[in-house]
Structure 1
Amino acid sequence: MSDPANAATGRAFPDILSRSAIKIDRVVITSTVRIPIKPWQIVSSPSRTVMALLTNIPLDDLYTRLAPITVPPSTSRGKFSNWGQTFHCTPLAIFEPEDEYQCELILELARREKKVVRAAGIGHSPSDIACTKEFMLRTQKLNRVLSVNVEKRTATVQAGITLNELHAHLADHGLAMMNVGSISDQTVGGIVTTATHGSGVTYGVISTHVMSLKLLLADGTYVTCSRHERPDLFVASICGLGTTGLILNVELEVEPAFRLKEVAITQPFEDVIQNLDEIAHAAEHVRLAWIPAADRIRVGLMNRTREEKTPAGSWFSEVFLGFYVLEFILFVGRFFSSANNFAGLLFCWLSGSKSVRVDDSHRVFNLDCLFLQYTTEWAIPYTRSQACLRELHSWLSQEYGDPNGLRPHFPIEIRFSAADDIWLSPSQGQKTCWIGIVQFKPYGLYVPYKKLFDGFETILARHGGRPHWAKAHSLRREKLRSLYPHFDDFIRVLEDVDPRGLFRNEYIRRHFFDGQADGRIFKLRQ
């Protein structure tokens, strides 16, 4: 490769995939075959000696060693876009390490060149949390299951494994995740660092099921942390937005594999809100899908069961009508807002008045996200959920009464989680109601959303809302400090383990350190 890897120095990553063999300490390259000798084959544990070896490597050699895992900037993979295609960046260099030693090399290069390193997984977060103009470390190839302990009900995995991959591995051992969100495309590292959640008033965010972490810190040292070993670093890291160190391994609490039975009933909005507390506690896992155009809420009650799986729905209703026709109507809604109302009514009709489904747990937890979308989600104290939802309903009713008013898409998703003690978790110290809103992008096309989201967030903020960390928001340091009692504790740990800000990309500098980075700098459309 001859593309520049460092615009400041003009240095290029050497083309080391040549016919001649090149021997470089721990990596031998002949033609296009690399035979790495792992760090643990040299020393039993990371040490100052290993760190000294890294600092002794000439800078040119660092670039040479990293060339095989550097994505050519001229290719499509040399750029990064999130799943919703709402944020985009072109990093100075993108690395795809396959082992821990290569991660060490990336951090060593970043220290020398004074660059930020940002870890990124699948890129499902609907924000610029993964974006950077500097070094990006993609974790997809760090995706192995390291151990499974059936008796202790734990699994240790590399942070780059996706939940979909993990579900399959756990099933082979008769195990399953205890609680899962609406999708399973994300990496384990991604869901841990953002405190991603499922639903259930007695179930915490997924980070509460993390038993221990293995981190590579900014100075190149390895650390294992848990509730009992370096607990402050652990609590800061299990919702740390990737700032405390590079998460390498995650030990998760799991449970014996189970099926879920979901009974879903569609009811009038006011009937549900009036009995919200009773409904939220009516099953192990409860989620609500509010369809504003129909003034109805789809109530999903999920419990563990041993019943047989139910057959899949029909292709005509679920795919032809529920995807292709729906997307076309949303496309028309870009020009005629009344079509958005019809799309919501069709979605409500397709959902039916009542349905029952039984399947493996993760398949019931997960939902079809349908189309590319803009989305935002906030967490409020559970005690404020009725008042907040009624205020949202009043606001949207006014919009529907205006021929030129806002027309939200569907559904507005309402979920619940138990209180936890994780410093930056939106559920920290409070039983929580999560409320999320979407605006779909039919055929990947732009739709107006900002005015709708601004109104939504204003109401949520009045009820003590905390933003979902993976999703775009505008809160800065002082507001976050007022929302999170342990905000300063988190910053203290951050300054201790990464005083120079090796892992602080534009998102982190903007929200945590009042940096000048524009919140829309990586937006695909302004």
Structure 2
Amino acid sequence: MPTQLTARPSDIPLNNLYNLLEPITVPKGKATFTNWGQTFTCSPSSIFEPENEFQCELALELARREGKTLRVVGVGHSPSDLACTNEFMLRMTKLNRVLEVNTEKRYVVAQGGITLNDLHRHLAKNNLAMINLGSISEQTLAGVVTTATHGSGISYGAISTNVLALSLLLADGSRVTCSRNEHSELFTASLCSLGATGIILSVQLEVEPAFRLKELQQSLPFDDVVQNLDKHVHSAEHVRFWWFPTTDQVICSYANRTLDDLQPAGSWWWHTFIGYHIIQLLLFLGRYVSVLNTWTANLAWWLVSKDSVGVNDSHKIFNVDCRYPQHTTEWAIPYENAQPCLRELRDYLQKEFKDPNGIRPHFPIEIRFSAADDIWLSPSYGQRTCWIGIVQYKPYGCNVPYRKFFEAYEDIVGPYQGRPHWAKAHRLGPDSLAKLYPHFGDFRRVLQEVDPKGMFANEYVQRHIMGKSVGRRVYKKNP
């Protein structure tokens, strides 16, 4: 029999394949998956945790022989059922090494399972940093790429726009390196692939010299921000807003690269003890007395309403504390539609506040911006984008009402040519998505070419991309 180091997975007898996979197979009693938001749970038939790329090939070969789909996951931060499956799951978090750092050409090559937090540490040792970031760094690099995760900055694209090349393991067991010059269609599809084009083994990512950001935060009235939106959005490199509808105020964040000395902002008392523990207790009580949600929102705004200036390493300014598990959704709308969309959303919320039985949403509504890109399934494809995200927290992991609020929100942003963030739950099927994405058909064509049997098409992909009648009913979803 060929040895593990020289044998092709297709040549290995089935019993030997089982034996080789046994050390990386999660015991049956522990083979469950729950996302970070605690909104979806599934029980895969098997979960594999590979420690090298050959073990990825073995898991793929077993899935092929047994006719199973293989869902590749990282840390499960997506609040939808994007990562869920009842078949095979490949958890990539042990494939987390940095393979190459090139300070002269300013790029890094890292395995797909590395978290951004770990990547920051490696880059800092080489005086480098990621160009832009989203609100958190707990995600894996491959997870960020496959969902077109974004930060904020009207001149900055989604993080996937900084990817120079990808190394993929395809459904037939072959490996391919793709870039804008090599297998360009596969590359463009994989920059927001939902995990469906192949297993991302490594990512070559453009970076820049390490930098600090100087962030100014101030509270302004909603009307001031929306009426002068263009001025605010273009007043700094990275601009984002946190809107507190109960006060009709917006916390505005303006961040620019700087050479100033470190000046961390915030305090333990306000931002940890009260801002975390007391607020969470009030949110829990608000499950039973809804008016408390309004008072809690007002308190949360007051805690952060004072003007502040902070200077810190880039990722410490880009990132924020997501605090508690949560239901969340976010849609991208063309930047040109941002003003009327935000005003309509405010009108809806003010109507709810006047109704004694109306919705009392949590806070804040996060508003961010990104440049246009050419990634087929990126919500910023072909347009400057305004991202609007809403949350309903789950204090102490307890559930809260959210569906009515989220459905009303989708009904508002949808007519403004809204595109849902792929990592978030949404209701759109392929017919609707094809109208929003000019290359939706090209994406499906590439999937058919590289994965004709749907090896990587879990229920999320089947439902939203293929239009197959598979619902979330297969999962244990928190009510």
Pairing 1:26–2:12 present: no
Counterpart of 1:148 (choices 76, 101, 111) is 101
- Unpaired runs of 5+ residues, structure 2, are none
Residues 80-479 of structure 1 aligned to structure 2 (within 5 Å): 80-479=33-432
- Deviation of 1:312 after TM superposition, in Å, equals 4.8
Counterpart of 1:72 (choices 19, 27, 36) is 27
Structure 1 CA distance for aligned equivalents of residues 397 and 248 of structure 2: 27
Secondary structure at the counterpart of residue 414 of structure 2: helix
The residue identity in structure 1 corresponding to 2:370 is: S
CA contact (8 A) 1:474 1:519 kept: no
CA contact (8 A) 1:510 1:519 kept: no
Structure 1 CA distance for aligned equivalents of residues 3 and 214 of structure 2: 52
- Unpaired runs of 5+ residues, structure 1, are 1-23, 28-36, 43-49
- Deviation of 1:204 after TM superposition, in Å, equals 0.2
CA contact (8 A) 1:195 1:205 kept: yes
- Deviation of 1:523 after TM superposition, in Å, equals 4.5
Pairing 1:57–2:12 present: yes
Secondary structure at the counterpart of residue 224 of structure 1: strand
Secondary structure at the counterpart of residue 293 of structure 1: coil
- CA deviations over 1:494-516 (Å, ceiling 9, x no partner): 00000000000000001111111
Structure 1 CA distance for aligned equivalents of residues 102 and 461 of structure 2: 36
Residue 20 of structure 1 is matched in structure 2 by none
The percent of aligned pairs where both chains have the same amino acid is 58
Residues 476-491 of structure 1 aligned to structure 2 (within 5 Å): 476-491=429-444
The residue identity in structure 2 corresponding to 1:244 is: T
- Deviation of 1:73 after TM superposition, in Å, equals 1.3
Structure 2 CA distance for aligned equivalents of residues 492 and 214 of structure 1: 20
- Deviation of 1:522 after TM superposition, in Å, equals 2.3
- Deviation of 1:58 after TM superposition, in Å, equals 1.1
Secondary structure at the counterpart of residue 319 of structure 1: helix
- State the Cα RMSD in Å: 1.0
Structure 2 CA distance for aligned equivalents of residues 522 and 187 of structure 1: 23
Figure out how many residues of one structure are paired with residues of the other and give that number.
479
Secondary structure at the counterpart of residue 421 of structure 1: coil
Secondary structure at the counterpart of residue 241 of structure 1: coil
CA, structure 1 residues 363+380, in 2 after alignment: closer, same or farther (shift >3 Å)? same
Structure 1 CA distance for aligned equivalents of residues 379 and 10 of structure 2: 40
CA, structure 1 residues 312+393, in 2 after alignment: closer, same or farther (shift >3 Å)? closer
Higher Rg: 1
Secondary structure at the counterpart of residue 29 of structure 2: coil
Pairing 1:496–2:449 present: yes
- Deviation of 1:25 after TM superposition, in Å, equals 4.4
- Deviation of 1:520 after TM superposition, in Å, equals 4.7
The residue identity in structure 2 corresponding to 1:474 is: R
Structure 2 CA distance for aligned equivalents of residues 428 and 306 of structure 1: 33
The residue identity in structure 1 corresponding to 2:93 is: Q
Structure 1 CA distance for aligned equivalents of residues 439 and 264 of structure 2: 48
Structure 1 CA distance for aligned equivalents of residues 472 and 429 of structure 2: 11
Structure 2 CA distance for aligned equivalents of residues 398 and 317 of structure 1: 31
Secondary structure at the counterpart of residue 493 of structure 1: helix
Structure 2 CA distance for aligned equivalents of residues 477 and 306 of structure 1: 48
RCO (CA 8 Å, sep 6+): is it higher in 1 or 2? Answer: 2
CA contact (8 A) 2:127 2:210 kept: yes
Secondary structure at the counterpart of residue 109 of structure 1: helix
The residue identity in structure 1 corresponding to 2:355 is: D
Q: How does the TM-score come out when normalised to structure 1?
A: 0.90
